[in-house]
Amino acid sequence: MTLQLGDVVPDFQQASSMGDISFHEWAGDSWVILFSHPADYTPVCTTELGEVARLKPEFDKRNVKVLALSVDDAESHKGWINDINETQSCSVNYPILADGDRKVSDLYGMIHPNSLNNLTVRSVFIIDPQKKLRLTLTYPASTGRNFPELLRVIDSLQLTDNYQVATPVNWKEGDDVVVVPSISTEEAKQKFPKGVTEVKPYLRMTPQPNQ
């Protein structure tokens, strides 16, 4: 089954570096970033997990839980975490799923045999508190991910869930946003008292409403 945006993501029970996880229960009312790695003790993955540990306060501020996955076992994860902490000057303080039986990898389509045989590619899933899939990205094993971009996407999703706006190209927190096409300019001016600039009838900009 291919997961598509808007789908409720599969629940699962799996071991991790911090004990067994029942995914939907563990996620609770939080957003979740689930991201996979080809294997433990690999160089690009080591830098990625260190960066996520350093960014953990930023994820916490946004009510986001982070959950990594590799097909190695929990004991291997624990040894690798020691290396990550040492080499990346961090403290890995989130769980890494031990998906030795490929149960989660298969559920979420993380194994692409024509890319990496029996190993997970660099998949990313952003999941909202209703357990719905909101974003998916897949990177090749040779390319490390850009986690500040994932924070930017979460900022956009959380903003646009609450206001009738969308975020334009290269948007970042504090920039102007786009008024969605489904409301008229007159209605937009009432909803967004900071002002609405009509560039074209279909392209209206307004300051970020929650700033």
Catalytic residue numbers? 45
Cα dihedral 48, 53, 55, 59, rounded to 10, equals 110
Phi, psi of 34 (to 5 degrees): -105, 125
Distance CA 25, CA 2 (A): 23
Provide the residue type at 107 as one letter.
L
Distance CA 156, CA 177 (A): 10
Which sign, positive or negative, has the C-alpha torsion 184, 189, 194, 200?
positive
CA 99 to chain centre: 19
